[in-house]
Amino acid sequence: MAELLQTRDFRQFRVVPRTPVIGGWIEGCNLAELDEAGLADLREALWQYGVLFGRRQHLSFDAMKRVAYGFGEHLEEHTFAPTKADEGHPEVVVIERLPSTSAKSTTDLWHHDVTSRKHPNIMSLLQAEQVPFGADTMWASMTSAYERMPHALKLLFENVEMEHDSLYLALRHGFGTPEMVARIVQSGEKATHPAVVRHHATGRPCLFVGNAYIKRIKGFETDISEALIKIANDYSKVPELQVRHEWEPGDVALWDNVGTSHYGVSADIGDQLRRLHRVAAWSENMKPEPYVAGPQLSAAA
Ligand SMILES: [Fe+2]
């Protein structure tokens, strides 16, 4: 996408591209100071770049929430992850790995956030408090992933739906404390989404597949389903479609949770603390809708 090769000036900030296909630096503003026009430009920039990074933003939780409200009328209240509810911010998810933590986290899987919900997040905003060297985060353009597929694979995935299930995530990948798994069981969160969705803002096709929440392709036998999910997920792993961020304290990353997939690098950080905070927005007006192009195969289920 050649349009990502140039620095682009918006009204209250500019964006400097990080790769030709995904990612840009936001420069010349603190996100807390954006007014409505600035937030409108932030939305436009995010749909174009997929993920935006800001150095030394040091946003308050209230400021993070205000930015997030620019993307949807609801903020995510996570079902099973730790939050800052005890400080009056149930919308702020704490993503941390303490030196004593042995429970596996979900970060080292390619995924879109909370796709087990009927209305997944539109935008997630993550701010680093402390991240040791090596514990980076990676994003992949799922618009470019779709474009990279041969025509036959595009046709296949345009014609199937994926079953997303939080409990499957916990059981398949063995993550979470027993208390977290109990909350997942209680939530019963599961949803079915198309494998290729039409982006709600750009109208472009996005491959909406990862290997965290997806249990199976609807109507497919398990072994065939798993083989095809692996093929789709392998497109997230293509280096040319990725951007990787090395965190510094106060850094912010916000991403298009439909058009990109992400992965938290599970580095050996010894006895160091890793802690970030996340807020995310969703809307009752946005649920993943199928992208349909070209001749149709027969119905999958
Ligand atoms: Fe995530």
**What pLDDT is attached to residue 237?**
96
Q: What is the pLDDT of residue 38?
A: 98
Beta strand pairing call for 123-130 and 196-198: unpaired
Count CB neighbours of 259 within 10 A. Answer: 32
> Is the pTM value of this prediction over 0.85?
yes
- Predicted confidence at residue 100, as pLDDT, reads 55
pLDDT at 214: 95
Separation of CA 95 and ligand 1 centre (Å): 9
Q: How far is the CA of 111 from the centre of ligand 1 (A)?
A: 6
Task: Give distance in angstroms: CA of 273 to centre of ligand 1.
Answer: 18
Cα-to-centroid distance, 110 and ligand 1 (Å): 8
Q: What is the pLDDT of residue 301?
A: 41
Token digits for 137?
Answer: 């985060």
Q: Which residue has the tokens 């209680």?
A: 186
CA 105 to chain centre: 15
CA of 38 from ligand 1 middle (Å) equals 26
8 A C-beta contact, residue 244 and residue 31 = no
Tokens representing 201 are 């803002």
CATH fold label, 2-290: Double-stranded beta-helix (3.60.130)
Cα separation, 129 vs 87, in Å, equals: 17
Closest to 277 (Cα-Cα) out of 144, 119, 87: 87
CA of 112 to the centre of ligand 1 (A): 6
Weakly modelled stretches of the chain, pLDDT under 70 = 1-3, 98-107, 294-301
